[in-house]
Amino acid sequence: MKRFLTVLVLIAVAASTLPAAAAPQMVLRLGETHVADYPTTRGDMEFSRLVEERTGGRIRIEVYHSKQLGEEKAVIEQVQFGAIDFTRVSISPLAAFAPAFDALQMPYLYRDEEHMWKVLNGPIGEEFLNSLEPANFVGLCWYDSGARNFYNSRREIKSVADLKGLKIRVQESKLMMGLVSALGAVPTPMPFGEVYSALQTGVIDGAENNWPSYFSTSHYEVAKYFTLDGHTRVPEILIASKMTMDKLSKEDQDIIRQAAKDSMPYQIKLWKEYEKVSEEKVTAAGSIITHLSPEAVSAFQKAMEPLYSELKPELQEVVKKIREVQ
């Protein structure tokens, strides 16, 4: 018994002298709209894992997925004021806080996916990440979001004319409202989380998104006509609150920036896999997938051209530079 007690005392002493590695010195929060297994959420988790590993556990970033901290617009506002430390969002709602971002999400802007990544990973993308500081954000990295397409519960969309009069939900973005109006449909801005029931009750006829979001939200259950028009590629972005970053040492800021960049290949790989899975699942569930003829695609592009002339001259310059990237 005496020996047993001595051992216990020794264990207690040893435990009390252990380095503090197990207890993080700083716990930060990241808000994410998507569910736990969605590629952006898994990218956030990889970012968090790398930060924890590289700071020896001093900094822990907790990922609150599935809108636990709120819908995108509200979360962006809180990041701006330092109440939430990080978020991963679509650049569409972010453009309300940093209008130049509209230049990166114009319809049919990129020739293809490779072109988009050249732009984002090159000097233009870097400039955009750095441009957020006056708005009190720090841009960290980009994630993949594929291309967005229209879907609805009423009819197959084979041409621009088929969209006429349909009520289409858009993100809380002026540009997206203009885009839907340019096609003769009626834009209805609404938070992401309200779209399923709005489709189900007929408050809206349709929405637009990529394969993974169409699948993961179950929108395919209530809007089975999906047209592959690929009107936009809207990158995802990981941002930090400038207030949070300003509290950290230069070394920790660098660790965070690098960890974000290093989480990109992982997110992009998962994205590709999840795009395929989503396409298979919604097709098996009975969605009607419509491929557009080249003429129909040209008509979509033509209908959206006025959006380019409505852009501010400085953003038209950015668009020109993006198009020049080879």
Query: Which of 268, 276, 146 has its CA nearest to residue 208?
Result: 146
- Ramachandran quadrant class, 207 (left: phi over 0; alpha: psi -120 to 50; beta: rest): beta
Q: Which is nearer to ligand BDP, 82 or 193 (CB)?
A: 193
Q: Give Rg (Cα) of the chain.
A: 23
CB of 242 to ligand BDP, least distance (A): 21
CB of 306 to ligand BDP, least distance (A): 23
CB of 162 to ligand BDP, least distance (A): 21
Backbone angles phi, psi at 250, to 5 degrees: -60, -40
Residue nearest to ligand BDP (CB): 192
Q: How far is CA 174 from CA 71, 193, 205, 229, in A?
A: 17, 19, 20, 20
Alpha helices in the chain (DSSP H): 2-16, 39-54, 72-80, 91-94, 113-121, 123-130, 174-182, 195-200, 211-216, 242-246, 250-284, 294-309, 313-324
Let me know: does 93 contact 73? Beta carbons within 8 Å: yes
Q: Which is nearer to ligand BDP, 84 or 255 (CB)?
A: 84
Q: Which is nearer to ligand BDP, 48 or 92 (CB)?
A: 92
Q: Which is nearer to ligand BDP, 145 or 188 (CB)?
A: 145
CB of 247 to ligand BDP, least distance (A): 26
Q: State the residues that interact with ligand BDP by CB under 6 A.
A: 33, 40, 72, 89-90, 145, 171, 192, 209-210, 213, 236
CB of 148 to ligand BDP, least distance (A): 7
